[in-house]
Each structure stands twice: as structure tokens, then as C-alpha cells.
Structure 1
Amino acid sequence: MSSQVSIIMATYNRAHFIAETLSSIQNQTFQEWECLIIDDGGTDDTEAVIQPILEKDPRFSFRKRPEQYQKGLPGCRNFGIDLAKGQYIIFFDDDDIVHPQNLACCVAEFADPKVAFCRYQRAAFEGDFDYQFDYSKEYAKFTVYSKDVEKMLTYKLPFNSCAVMWRKSCFEQNRFVETLMFAEEWELYSRILASGVQGVSINKILFFGRKHYNSNTGEFSRRNEMRLVSKKDAVLLIVENLNNRKMLTPTLMRFFVQMALSYKKYNLFSEILSKLDLSIGQQMYWRILYTFLPFRLSLIRLRKKLTS
């Protein structure tokens, strides 16, 4: 069977979750896929756990990340992209559950040649998963344009790493930055969207993310140093790219300046300014805004509290 869709799954010590994830992939109503499982040097028995699945279903393949790809999620995914044979690429995590209609719904949207990606809804769960899926085939959708990169970056239109299917052509000139250990998809997806492609967003939950203590997001929420530095580095890459494309709007600049308040330890604000060719007057404007923004935000919170 030919593979229209290449599923790329990085894995690291998820023997206790991965079999359930692979089972949800096998239950897809769309069957023309390959699943590239890229091991990032794990030390548990993941390979032994999934060996029966590998033997029975040749659409799954298990590969060790080669040394020329940097350790981490981005390096594993870049290796997977280079191996992929499908027309379309999607990234799944090794501890989540996929809706049975996931691939079918997305592939159907690519009948329109203008569609470069299909975004969909994601839900989170904890503990045991409730396998009560919504199998309806009717859902609302809308077009996402390059100009919507602002909504994407400010989380008004979030692009979760595992909630977008892409045409493989989107990765011809774009790869994950392998030094990033958090927000790597935020940076890459914004770069792809800013390049001028358009896609579709469908209002249907097709992916279920497992919330647990050892996830990357969980570590970021606990202010893990490595994850925080990565987010800071991702911001700088995004600012530089948008500035070069003349797409760094005042709204986005203000968003990043406000974000920099949480990264004073890492001098994010000063590094943002260093990426831009600003006049003395423009630099003064943003420095004054940055200085007084905490007071303004405090007043806004106080006003909301008094009126609630």
C-alpha cells in the first residue's frame, strides 16, 4: 500500500504510553499512511514493547536518531522529514490519542490545491482516555492566510505541534531549529505561515493530548531553565524573521515586549531591540513602554477585579 501520509513520531522513554498511541493510529479510517517512530536514545524497553506491532503492521518503522541530527524533539522530527515518503506530513507525540477520522478529514481538505496545511482542534485529557469519539462528518471551517501569522503567534489561533497536517512541500525550505528544546513548532510553523502559504482550519477535535508531569509543557510550566531559554531563543528567531519580511506589526512587537517582562533574567527585551534597525526615537518609545508596562498591567488587573 502506498503512503499518502507520513506520520512522524519522536519517542523517548514512553514504553508505558506508546502502544496505546500506536493502536489509535492503526484505528484510522484512512489507511494509506506510514508511521516513522524515531527513538531519541531512550533507555527503557520501548522497542521491545512495540515489537509485536512492528512485526504485524509494516506501515510502522522504528529508527534510531543518527548522530548527525541533534538530540531532542526537533532533531528527531527533521530526521523523520528526511525519511518521509508521503505527500503529507503530520507529527504525533508518543503519549497521546488520535481520533479515528484524523487523517481522513485532513487529507480530504487537500483536494483543494491551494491548501498547504489543515489545522484542527485538540483537546487535553488526564488519566485513562474515554474512547467516546464524535464521528460526525459535518463541521465548520475557514481559510487561514499568511497574514494570520499574528493570530497564530499571539495564541488567538494556536497551532499545536500535533494538530496540523502539512503538504510535504512546506518543508522543502523549512526545518525545525535543532537547538530549540521548547517552542520549536511555534517558531517553525510561524516561519512557514509567514512564507506566503495558506491553509484551512476545521472545527473538529481530532487529537487528544495527554497531560502528565514529565511532558515538555509540564516542565516549561514549572519554569525549567532549558525550556525557558528555548522559548526566549524562539522569540528572537521569530522577531528576526518577521522583521526581515516586513511583517513585524506594532501589535506583535507589543506582544513580544510584554512577554519579555517574564524573561528579564535572560535580557530578552534588549536582545529583541538588537535584532531591529530602529531609530533612536523608536528605541526610546519601546524602552519607555517596557519600563511602564508593569504598572499599566497592574492597573488593568485592578480595574477588572473592582468591576467583576
Structure 2
Amino acid sequence: MKNAPRISIIMATYNRAHFIVETLQTIKKQSFINWECLIIDDGGSDNTKESIEPLLEKDHRFQFLKRPDSYKKGLPGCRNYGLDLAKGTYVIFYDDDDIVHPHNLKTSLEVIETSQVDFCHYQKMSFEVEKPIVENNPIAIAKFLTKADILKVVTQEIGLASCTVLWKKNCFERTRFNENLLYAEEWECYSRIITENFKGIIINNVLYYNRKHPESNTGQYIRKNPIHRESYSKAILLVVQNLKEKKLLSYSLKRYFITISIDFKEYNLFKAILIILELPTFEKLKWCFFYTTLPIRFRFYRIKKTIKSRYNL
């Protein structure tokens, strides 16, 4: 497509007039300039549109759009709408309350094209009130990322956060965000993409700064918002199901899922995981024993750790 942007930035927004202008200004200052920014409003009631109107009028790379009812309310629906509109060869998802490094797009695109991979994962840094110090460091490539690293992706040892990856758009040809999830949707979605054999690269450069505040998705989950907890439990089951279908459920992954299921007893997550796994009777009994004795082992571990700390052992 003639004059099409190379990168499509997709940003869902909801009542963030007090943050979004600063975020958009950091996008406007990107050293790479051939982009479009699709701002998808999720039905907010504040003055977001009015606050960004000057930017929309002066820079037509920014577009403000309302999420249509054919997409469910929430981040996944907004992002899916953005994906269906995106004209770029590459896509990236930014939040509406953060700060973007001025070389975010330039650096991650350069890494993808030089390394001939499908996506680039960079690092982020959190801040609250005091603005972060933006550093310009040489590109530091850490490692390639493939389906063989699925354990590290699922356990979030490799943290593919929603705003820390530049993707080739074709990674989403057969994949969309699950619109029934209101939390952990990117973890579930990105896990599926990794299992589709797309190859990425990790760099150690910090190219994104996420703002910590009580109303963020993460903040609400930390405060044990029941909607977010239920969504996380649903995402876990979807990831388990996908890994089973792809024949990627190792012993370590089974152990991980069963261990975290103990924190979601209200959703009978352990039982639901066993149903998906369809284990032979003996293996099922072994995992039931593992799950039942887990709280005892946790208590023993905490006591042991306390004793070591107290006596400097």
C-alpha cells in the first residue's frame, strides 16, 4: 500500500485524560517517524478526546476511534479492533498512561530487521511520581527467543508484557486477544504466538517506562480485584489447553500450573486443570498428593527460611 505506515501503534484508552497527553507526546517525539497511532476509546466518560484534540489536528498520524459494539468492552476488544485496522507491517501496543523511550521504535525495528526475526522484546522500567531518566545505550542483544523457551515465557521469567514487544503483523494473522479476558490477556495471547514457531530476540535495553498507580490493571490485580483474579484463572486454563494441544506440556509446566492453582481455590482451578490434562490414574493421584501437601511444604519452607535468617545460617 502506497505511503502506508511501517509501524501501527495500537493504544486502548479509558478515562485517562490526566495521563494520555504526556504519553502521546512521547510517541510524537519518536526518532522513527513512519508510524500511525490508533487510539481506541473503550467508552470512556471523561474529556480524553478534548484533551488530545490539539495533537489530532496537528499530527494526522494520530487517530481517535471509538470501539464499535462488534468488539467486546475491554483491552482485548480494543486491541483486536486496532489490529483489524492497522496498516503497518509491524504492530506494537502502548498503554495510555506510560512514557515511551524516544528510540523505542527505531531500536526495536532495527533489531528485527538486522536479526531477521518476527519480534523484538525489550525491557521496561517502572516509575510512580518522579519521571525516569532516559538513557541512550548501545543495543545489547541478550538472546533469541523460540518455542523452546515456552517454560520461561509461561512462568514469566521472560516477561513479555503487552507494551514491551514490537511484532511483525503477520504474527497476528491467526491470533487475536481473547475478548473474554479482562486480565492476563496478553500473557495468554503471546504464549499462543510463541507456540506457533515465531522467532524473536530479546534485548536488554530499557525502551519503555510504565507508570505505577492504583487504577492500573496490575494495581487492581495486586489489590485482589475479583474480576481480575477470575480472568487470570481463565487465562491459565486457556494456556494449559493450548500447550496440551501443541504437545508442549512438560513436567515442569504441569508442576508450575498446579502450584499456582493453590492460590485460586475459589475457582476450583486445580480440578479444572486436571480435567484438561486427562492424566492416567496413577499420575493423577501423584499430582493430587503434590497439591494436597503443598501448603505443608510451603509452611516448612517459610520456617526454615526464618531460622536461617535469624541465625545467619
Instruction: With the length of structure 1 as denominator, give the TM-score of the two structures.
Output: 0.98
The Cα offsets for residues 19-54 of structure 1, whole Å up to 9 and x where unpaired, read as: 000000011111111000000000000000000000
Question: Alignment partner for residue 60 of structure 1, among 59, 62, 71?
Answer: 62
Q: Aligned pairs, how many?
A: 307
Q: Distance in 2 between matches of 1:4 and 1:113?
A: 18
Residues 1-308 of structure 1: matches in 2 within 5 Å? 2-112=4-114, 114-130=116-132, 132-308=133-309
The one-letter code sitting in structure 2 at the alignment partner of 1:201 is: I
Give the Å deviation of 1:110: 2.0
The Cα offsets for residues 249-287 of structure 1, whole Å up to 9 and x where unpaired, read as: 111111111111110011000000111221111110111
User: Contact (CA 8 Å) 2:107, 2:139: kept in 1 or not?
Assistant: no
Q: Distance in 2 between matches of 1:75 and 1:299?
A: 44
2:244 alignment partner, SS class: helix
User: Contact (CA 8 Å) 2:112, 2:201: kept in 1 or not?
Assistant: no
Give the Å deviation of 1:140: 3.3
The one-letter code sitting in structure 2 at the alignment partner of 1:206 is: L
The one-letter code sitting in structure 2 at the alignment partner of 1:115 is: V
User: Contact (CA 8 Å) 2:8, 2:91: kept in 1 or not?
Assistant: yes
Give the Å deviation of 1:155: 1.7
The CA RMSD over aligned residues, in Å, is: 1.1
Give the Å deviation of 1:17: 0.3
Larger mean CA deviation between 134-143 and 242-251 belongs to 134-143
Q: Distance in 1 between matches of 2:202 and 2:146?
A: 10
The one-letter code sitting in structure 2 at the alignment partner of 1:277 is: E
The Cα offsets for residues 103-161 of structure 1, whole Å up to 9 and x where unpaired, read as: 0011001214741110000110001424x311122423311111111101112111111
Larger mean CA deviation between 141-150 and 224-233 belongs to 141-150
2:277 alignment partner, SS class: coil
Give the Å deviation of 1:99: 0.2
1:248 alignment partner, SS class: coil
Give the Å deviation of 1:18: 0.2
2:17 alignment partner, SS class: coil
Any stretches of 5+ residues in structure 1 without a counterpart? none
The Cα offsets for residues 205-257 of structure 1, whole Å up to 9 and x where unpaired, read as: 00000000111111111111110000000000000000111101111111111
Q: Distance in 2 between matches of 1:236 and 1:110?
A: 32
Q: Distance in 1 between matches of 2:123 and 2:306?
A: 32
The one-letter code sitting in structure 2 at the alignment partner of 1:163 is: T
Moved over 6 A (4+): none
Identical aligned pairs, as a percentage? 47
The one-letter code sitting in structure 2 at the alignment partner of 1:85 is: K
Give the Å deviation of 1:202: 0.4
Q: Distance in 1 between matches of 2:144 and 2:59?
A: 36
Q: Distance in 2 between matches of 1:279 and 1:66?
A: 46
The Cα offsets for residues 84-118 of structure 1, whole Å up to 9 and x where unpaired, read as: 00011100000000000100011001214741110
Q: Distance in 2 between matches of 1:82 and 1:165?
A: 17
User: Contact (CA 8 Å) 2:144, 2:201: kept in 1 or not?
Assistant: yes
Give the Å deviation of 1:296: 1.1
Q: Distance in 1 between matches of 2:299 and 2:193?
A: 36
The one-letter code sitting in structure 1 at the alignment partner of 2:103 is: Q
User: Contact (CA 8 Å) 2:139, 2:203: kept in 1 or not?
Assistant: no
